[in-house]
Copies of this chain bind each other. A is one copy, B any other.
Amino acid sequence: MSEKFDAILSSANLPQSGGLLYLRLRNLIAQSIDEGFLAPGDGLPSERDIAQMTGLSRVTVRKALGQLVSEGVLFQRHGSGTFVTQQVERFEQSLSTLTSFSEDMARRDMELRSQWLDRGIYAPAPEEMVILGLAGDEKVARVGRLRIANGVPLAVERAAIAASILPDPQSITHSLYAKLNETGHRPVRALQRIAAVNLDQKNAALLGVAPGSASLRIERTAYLASGRVVEFTRSIYRGDAYDFVAELRDAKS
């Protein structure tokens, strides 16, 4: 198990030559993975063993490992060990056609699961009143889901819809858009705002990745043909699992 490491680590004479110790160890491990000495799923020696092998303190070893964990190269399981991350399959989503997550995955032949985080009628937050154009006494339906494809959590999706349009959020079984379709409230147009954010602890736990991992926050405002706002959704997509693809055309043509 750790003979492999003895070769990798001792050959490099870490304490010699210039540079910061934790960075040299970090690069050594990263390089070993790049060159295939360490394969995805492989376990590393314990932090204490690495410290002894390299002659570094455990704190310094932890700093090197911690940086690779925050970059998504390694992951650690309390009480179990440190391992090389399995590359997850990346998904693509178009930024020009308007489809829901469920429809998108069905087209790809993925096994999609959802875990309900929230599904009910609430008094609207000020933000929701403004965006959805709610009257003072109107309620809002909130639908929050964790989206899981082939067993991998991909996104946290929280939608808000006027209760007058969706009075019974509990009745949604699969697709929100399918439900809106039934009642003639399917949106025909949407604006999406995309930003990169570091995951907070709560969303990181839901998505099964390290806090601070890069993710895409997408705020979508969807409109009916009449121009009325029908849906406002704020989603968090795992950065390591999702690509968004857009086609641009020359403004002058």
Contact between chains at A99 and B247 (CB < 8 Å): no
Contact between chains at B214 and A95 (CB < 8 Å): no
Contact between chains at B196 and A215 (CB < 8 Å): yes
In the complex, A1 Cα to B168 Cα: how many Å?
54
Name which of A188, A197, A211, A214 has the most chain B CB atoms within 10 A of its CB. Answer: A214
> Which A204-253 residues have a C-beta within 8 angstroms of B?
211-216, 220, 237, 239, 242-251, 253
In the complex, A245 Cα to B212 Cα: how many Å?
24
Contact between chains at B95 and A253 (CB < 8 Å): no
- Residue in chain B with minimal CB distance to A92: B193
Contact between chains at B239 and A71 (CB < 8 Å): no
Contact between chains at A187 and B99 (CB < 8 Å): no
Residue A186 CB within 8 A of the other chain: yes
Per assembly, the copies of the chain total: 2
For chain A, the count of residues having a C-beta within 8 Å of the partner chain is 45
Residue A76 CB within 8 A of the other chain: no
Contact between chains at B189 and A250 (CB < 8 Å): yes
Residue A191 CB within 8 A of the other chain: yes
> Which A95-118 residues have a C-beta within 8 angstroms of B?
95-99
In the complex, A213 Cα to B243 Cα: how many Å?
18
Contact between chains at B95 and A198 (CB < 8 Å): no
Contact between chains at B239 and A214 (CB < 8 Å): yes
User: Told that A98-B249, A189-B248 touch, could you supply 10 new A-B pairs with CB distance under 8 A?
Assistant: A67-B212, A96-B96, A96-B249, A97-B251, A188-B253, A189-B249, A192-B247, A193-B243, A195-B243, A195-B244
CB-defined A-B contacts under 8 Å, sample of 24: A67-B211, A71-B212, A95-B95, A96-B249, A97-B251, A98-B250, A99-B251, A187-B250, A189-B247, A189-B248, A191-B245, A192-B248, A193-B244, A193-B245, A194-B243, A195-B216, A196-B215, A197-B239, A198-B212, A198-B214, A198-B239, A212-B212, A220-B248, A246-B246
A residues neighboring B (CB under 8 Å): 59, 67, 70-72, 92, 95-99, 186-198, 200, 211-216, 220, 237, 239, 242-251, 253
